A = this chain, B = another copy of it.
Amino acid sequence: MRIIESVSEMQQQADLWRRESRRIALVPTMGYFHEGHLALMRAIRDHADILVISIFVNPAQFGPGEDFERYPRNLERDLGLARGVGVDAAFVPTTGEIYPEGYQTFVEVKGITQTLCGKSRPNFFRGVTTVVSKLFNIVKPHVAIFGEKDFQQLMTIRRMVGDLNMDIQILGHPTVREADGLAMSSRNAYLTSDQRFKALRLSRSLKEAQDLLDRGERRSDAILSRVREVLAEDGDVRIDYAELRDPHSFEEVPEVTGPTLLALAVFVGVARLIDNCILHLSS
């Protein structure tokens, strides 16, 4: 596995692969790998000849007071895991390589980024779309993959790629969960064992919402009040949002009449955890 730190070296390598008609896949990550990351790598491997991952904790997507500094990092372990999955190259730039002195350009999707996580974290999506644009220009992939746990991020990237005519296929991958249902996240590392237990309320509330729907309840307010009941705010748990939305426009829906996004963001201790599912009417 090649480890590449410089933008120009990565671009030259990508050019070489492209000249050899090799199809390049990219898995952009912030590192601290869990099974979710590895699942993305395995899933995209069959869509390309060359598998590239990037590891970069992107300061532009963190707000003031957020967890950029303490975001968990373990490069050596990550590289070992990537090697194990058969990654061909890891792009691991420094912050200065990505945002040199005087940096001043941003890529921004408007509309669908103004709500949910975009409302709680005002510069988050701008940071994501900017760095992903850069990674696309650096690694020059034919295909890239993102997890559905970050559903709004996935949809935002699809929107950016479509709107800006980036000639890159974007794959989504189902959320990977622990055996007990907790969505895998690098931020789970922040949880005490007590908090880890309380964090199960997220996935459980998603299930309860689908159960309620299956039993005939379609009113959003009724479903969401059940979700909030399961999430049950207390000293360790604070709901940031719990919303039912159209999964394309991200507009609120008063009633579930088709596939509908149920999206949650909950602070558990210092960890801000998100989870979501698409609710389906029973057939």
Give the Cβ gap from A224 to chain B, nearest Cβ, in Å: 27
A232 within 8 Å of B (CB atoms): no
Interface-forming stretch among A35-43, A74-82, A102-110, A212-220?
A102-110
Picked from B19, B134, B163, the residue with its CB within 8 Å of the CB of A105 is B163
Docked-complex contact A137 and B164, CB < 8 angstroms:
yes
Question: Measured between alpha carbons, how far is A159 from B101 in the docked complex, in Å?
Answer: 12
- Which B residue's beta carbon lies closest to that of A7? B165
- Which B residue's beta carbon lies closest to that of A156? B105
Docked-complex contact B134 and A165, CB < 8 angstroms:
yes
- Which B residue's beta carbon lies closest to that of A160? B105
**This chain: how many copies in the complex?**
2
- Which B residue's beta carbon lies closest to that of A126? B108
Picked from B21, B137, B165, B167, the residue with its CB within 8 Å of the CB of A167 is B137
Chain B residues within an 8 Å CB radius of A55: none
Question: Measured between alpha carbons, how far is A129 from B106 in the docked complex, in Å?
Answer: 10
Given A133-B164, A138-B165, residue A108 in contact with residue B105 (CB < 8 A)? yes
Question: Measured between alpha carbons, how far is A108 from B110 in the docked complex, in Å?
Answer: 12
Docked-complex contact B103 and A134, CB < 8 angstroms:
no
A257 within 8 Å of B (CB atoms): no
Docked-complex contact B105 and A164, CB < 8 angstroms:
yes
A11 within 8 Å of B (CB atoms): yes
Chain B residues within an 8 Å CB radius of A160: 105
Chain B residues within an 8 Å CB radius of A110: 104-106
Question: Measured between alpha carbons, how far is A21 from B134 in the docked complex, in Å?
Answer: 24
A18 within 8 Å of B (CB atoms): yes
A111 within 8 Å of B (CB atoms): yes
Docked-complex contact B104 and A111, CB < 8 angstroms:
yes
Q: Which residues of A contact B (CB under 8 A)?
A: 7, 11, 15, 18-19, 21, 102-112, 129-130, 133-134, 137-138, 140, 159-160, 163-167
10 shortest A-B CB distances, which residue pairs?
A105-B163, A104-B111, A137-B165, A104-B110, A105-B109, A138-B165, A134-B165, A105-B160, A11-B167, A137-B166
A to B CB contacts below 8 Å, 13 in the list: A18-B18, A103-B163, A104-B110, A104-B112, A104-B159, A104-B163, A105-B109, A105-B110, A105-B163, A130-B164, A137-B164, A137-B165, A138-B165
